[in-house]
Chain A
Amino acid sequence: MPEYLNKEILILGCGNVLFGDDGFGYAVVNKLNALKEKIPALNSNKIGIIDAGTGASHYILSLIDEDTPIKKIIIIDAIDFGLKPGELIKLYPNDLPKIKKYYIDAHDMPLAGLIKEINEKYGIEVVVIGCQSKNMTAPDICLELSEEVKNAVDRAVEMVLDELLK
């Protein structure tokens, strides 16, 4: 199986860097990679740091099964919860919606459903670090994060480190 499925902890930066604040997950992953040398907790073979873009459900979550040694997944993503732009929130599988899935394709896999399933079936701990977005520009292209969301990147990095050191 792919190397990233052989890790104990996976850090997934989700979202599309082309659509404004949807690039938040990517920005955090970038920062984590840059800090690898300085922070020993990040520089471990047991941890996978991945720019998962829009492919996390398709290329990672749907491939997890009883053979996968993953114990914990930290997902970093932009959210729209009506909070103040840049506000961070931690979500656990129980906070996620029970979506009655109306149809399934590889672009449209029910992320919440998959997260719950791998949590319940394989006992994998999942935490989502969500950042309230200001500008989700899709379908228009914008390569910049809003000021508020950009300012949240360092705090999100700290939240990831807290999760790692738990």
Chain B
Amino acid sequence: MGKVVEIHPTTRHEGHAKLVLKVDDEGIVEKGYYLSVTPVRGFEKFLVGKPAEFAPIAVMRFCGVCPVAHAISSVEAIEDACNITPPKDGLLLRELIGIANKMHSHPLHQFLISPDFVPEKDRVEFIKRVQKMRKIAQYIVDVVGGEGIHPPNIRIGGMAKNITESAKTKIYYKCKEYEKLAKEQIEYLVPIFESRTLTNGTELPEKLGYHDFGYIATHPTYGDRTAIDQSKVVEYTPFEFYEKDVALQASTTIPTYNGRLAEVGPRARFRKFFDFKEKGAMAINIARAYELEVLVKRAMEILDELNVNGKTLSDEPIIGDGEKAGLGVHEAARGHNTHQAAIDKRGNIVYYNAIVATTWNIPVISKAIEGSHYKFAEYVVRAYDPCISCATHMIVKDYDGRVVDEKILK
């Protein structure tokens, strides 16, 4: 007969989502749906009519976790629309801040999945290492971006400021420290992921999370709009893709490249640039761990290349023809993140569209959980480090003014 298993909320990833699983009598998932249940925010519509400079400021508020990634995609899209070429040192700094964002985000994800994979006896040491890495990465975002959370230095045309020689030295020194920590993290985590063993001793199925869809990655550490043909990207509504009862609950589009679903993120980057052939959920965790080292190495290369006296911001005017949809591509922590913008002759936005990394991965996750027992679905979901959207927190008191509660606007 089979039945439907719903898991809501799914836990220890970013944002609000649910799993709807149609399973057979043995509990094997025949049809899997991983759905975002966060309301549509409509950023693309309200940006229209606003000055181009407002876009990076607004999109940094998409999410409390990835302000840097969205700001970079946004400024890149507007630069493409307005034919602006940022100076080399501006681009280097922008790549550096994007890398630092990933150097922070990956260890955070590893912390979130640590109850699954890191035995109790190692937990404290593991979390200490994660925290050291997060602090270093966030230091770089703070210094290069001018502020840690909504870095104001990420500007259309480059970066608002260069860094000083002494900041460069400090960042380099901290990267050396990070490199050491990254190596420890890789040596510790990769054997655990390869053994596919949970802390409770359960072995995950070898083919957990296998799929035959495509992979999209444009650059190992930054993003490259010339490496993708955006005309081959088609976005479907949930109603064109899911059964009606499921589609009604879903709030994201389903993008395809060349008519196929595609995975984005660390494994996609590793397949493309590092000849990494592994499949399945564990391979994503492995690629993410290895990527720590790739990222910090590139950060040090950037520092070597960077001229701290170089110009970082273009002074070309921010105006477009009102028609060309510029494309901004950034390889964010969770993968290929694209924004598109058209700017008119007065410098205002006439069109905006964003396909964020997890939008690509949501339908892939849905399919990747099929064929395995439903109790393993959560490990597939978390391997993708999905980031659905943010919630607004409020502290609430009742009318007697005594009982206090937390309210979350979803």
Contact = CB atoms under 8 A, between A and B. Distances in A.
A136 B135 contact: no
Contacts of B407: 80
Contacts of A59: 138, 148-149
B64 A53 contact: yes
A107 B65 CA distance: 7
Nearest to B136: A1
B108 A2 contact: no
Nearest to B403: A97
Given A82-B399, A108-B391, A54 B148 contact: no
B150 interface: yes
Interface residues of B, number: 53
Nearest to B404: A97
Contacts of A77: 395
Nearest to A130: B395
A73 B331 CA distance: 35
A19 B135 contact: no
A97 B12 contact: no
Given A1-B139, A50-B149, A139 B65 contact: no
B40 A139 contact: yes
A52 B394 CA distance: 15
Interface string B310-336: 000000000000000000000000000
Given A2-B139, A22-B392, A96-B395, A53 B148 contact: no
Interface in B8-45: 9, 11-15, 39-43
A3 B142 contact: yes
A79 B149 contact: no
B316 to A, nearest CB: 28
> What is the predominant secondary structure among interface residues of chain B facing chain A?
mixed
A36 B39 CA distance: 39
A105 B135 contact: no
B46 interface: yes
Contacts of A78: 394
B397 A81 contact: yes
Interface in B389-407: 389-399, 401, 404-407
Interface in A35-86: 50-56, 58-60, 63, 65, 77-82
Given A78-B394, A107-B14, A51 B150 contact: yes
Contacts of A111: 393, 395, 406
Contacts of B43: 141
Given A106-B108, A107-B64, A81 B401 contact: yes
A105 B58 contact: no
A55 B64 contact: yes
Contact of B65 (A18, A95, A106, A112): A106
B46 A106 contact: no
Interface string A89-123: 00100011101001111111011100000000000
B395 A105 contact: no
A161 interface: no
A141 B401 contact: no
A138 B148 contact: no
A159 interface: no
B131 interface: yes
A163 to B, nearest CB: 18
B64 A58 contact: yes
Contacts of A18: 58, 61
Interface string B42-56: 110010000000000
A104 B12 contact: yes
A52 B67 CA distance: 11
A94 to B, nearest CB: 10
A11 interface: no
A128 interface: yes
Interface string B124-141: 000000010011101101
A17 interface: yes
B167 to A, nearest CB: 10
B409 interface: yes
Contact of A139 (B13, B42, B63, B149): B42
Interface of B: 9, 11-15, 39-43, 46, 58, 60-61, 63-65, 67, 108, 112, 131, 134-136, 138-139, 141-143, 147-150, 387, 389-399, 401, 404-409
Interface of A: 1-5, 15-19, 22, 50-56, 58-60, 63, 65, 77-82, 91, 95-97, 99, 102-108, 110-112, 128, 130, 133, 136, 138-141
Given A59-B148, A60-B149, 13 more contacts: A1-B136, A53-B67, A77-B395, A80-B407, A81-B401, A106-B108, A106-B112, A107-B65, A107-B391, A111-B395, A140-B42, A141-B41, A141-B46
Q: Which 5 A-B pairs have the closest CB atoms?
A: A54-B64, A2-B142, A103-B11, A81-B397, A97-B404
